Amino acid sequence: MLPAAHLQRFVRQLNRQSCRNTWVLKRVFQPEVTPPGEIQKNPNDFHDYQKYEVVEYETLKPAGPIKVILLQDVEGIGHQFDVVSVDRSLARKDLLLSKKAVYASPFDLKYYADMKTRMAEELASRVRIPYELKVVGRDLQKMVVPIKVNMENQWTIDRKLVKSSLRQLGVFLAENTIFLADKPISGPNFDIEAKLFRFYVVVNQQYIVPMLGRITHISADESNQIISPTSTAPRDEELARYNIRKEFPLYSKTNDFTESFPVFEHMREHAPTTPQ
C-alpha cells in the first residue's frame, strides 16, 4: 500500500498529465520554396530558419479535438479527403497510426485539396451510403418481426398488420414505406405457423432494407395458444427452407423508391448479397 502522501502526489501528477502547456510559434524567417526538380535544402543548415517567435502561450490548456484529413472513407467519421475534427486519442491510436488520415497541416490541406480536385469524377461516381442509413438498416435487419394473427378469425397479412407488428417492437413507420409480395398470405393456416416471409422497408425513398416476418397464431383463449419459435436471426438453412435468399440493403443516390416503385421486382434482380 502506498502512503497517503505518496498517493495524493500520484493523483496530482495524473491530473497534471491530463492538461498540456500549449505554445504556438511561427518562424521569423520563412524558408524559400524549393523549385521543382531541385533537392530541398535542410533547414538545420541555416541558422535563421531556427528562429521562432511566440504567437500564443496558454498554461494548462486542456487538449481538445484535432483536425485531420481522411485518406479513405471512415464509417461514422467522414469520406476520403474530408477535413474533420476528432478526438486526439482516436486520431493517434487509430486514424494516424493506420494511415487512414494525416494531420491537417497547411501543406497537406493544399496537397490533398488538389488531389481531391483531380479525382472529382471518380469520387462522384462512388456509392457512398450515409452513415445514418447504414445504422438504421443494420438495426432493422437484426429483427425477425413476429406477425401475430388470429387462429379463429380470417386474416390476410397486409401493410397495416406489419406496421402494427413493427410498432410493438418500437419501430414506427408509415404504411407506404412497407412493401409485401404480390401473392397474399392468408389464414388461419396452421401449416404455415412459424413460417418466415420476406418484406421490405424503404427509408427516405433511398434505402431498401430487406426484413423478415414470422407468422405466429394467437388466441384470446390461453388454452389454445401455440408456442412458436423465438424471433432470433434464422440460419441460412432455415431461410432456404422458405425459399428466402440472404439479402442486404440497397441504396440509391436519388429518391427513386417511391410508393409506386416495384420494390420486389427490383430487389429480385439487384439485391446485394454482400454488404455495400
| Nearest partner of 50 among 19, 26, 83, judged by Cα | 26
| Whether residue 205 sits in one domain with residue 254 | yes
| Whether residue 261 sits in one domain with residue 188 | yes
Sequence-ordered list of residues with C-beta below 8 angstroms from that of 168, at least 6 positions apart, any chain:
146
pLDDT of residue 15: 55
| Count of domains for the chain | 3
266 within a domain of the structure (yes/no):
yes
The cell for 170 is 418500437
Which CATH number characterizes residue 217's domain? 3.10.430.100
256 within a domain of the structure (yes/no):
yes
16 within a domain of the structure (yes/no):
no
| Whether residue 233 sits in one domain with residue 262 | yes
| Whether residue 157 sits in one domain with residue 120 | no
- Report d(CA 247, CA 184) in Å as an integer: 21
| Whether residue 79 sits in one domain with residue 52 | no
Mean pLDDT of 221-244: 77
| Whether residue 201 sits in one domain with residue 177 | yes
- Report d(CA 95, CA 235) in Å as an integer: 35
pLDDT of residue 1: 45
Q: What is the DSSP letter of 91?
A: I
Instruction: Tell which of 124, 152, 167 closes a domain.
Output: 124
pLDDT band at 2 (very low <50, low <70, confident <90, very high): very low
Which H or E run contains 269? Answer: helix 263-270
Which CATH number characterizes residue 89's domain? 3.40.5.10
155 within a domain of the structure (yes/no):
yes
Mean pLDDT of 216-233: 72
- The number of angstroms, rounded, from the C-alpha of 252 to the middle of its chain's C-alpha atoms is 16
| Whether residue 166 sits in one domain with residue 256 | yes
| Whether residue 255 sits in one domain with residue 137 | yes
pLDDT band at 219 (very low <50, low <70, confident <90, very high): confident
- The number of angstroms, rounded, from the C-alpha of 86 to the middle of its chain's C-alpha atoms is 16
232 within a domain of the structure (yes/no):
yes
Sequence-ordered list of residues with C-beta below 8 angstroms from that of 61, at least 6 positions apart, any chain:
19, 20, 21, 22
Instruction: Tell which of 124, 147, 169 closes a domain.
Output: 124
pLDDT of residue 21: 67
pLDDT tens profile 175-202:
999 999 999 999 999 999 999 999 999 9
**Bridge-based pairing state of the strands 207-218 and 144-150:** parallel
pLDDT at 207 over 90: yes
| Whether residue 262 sits in one domain with residue 173 | yes
Determine the structural domain holding residue 90 and report its residue range.
Answer: 66-124
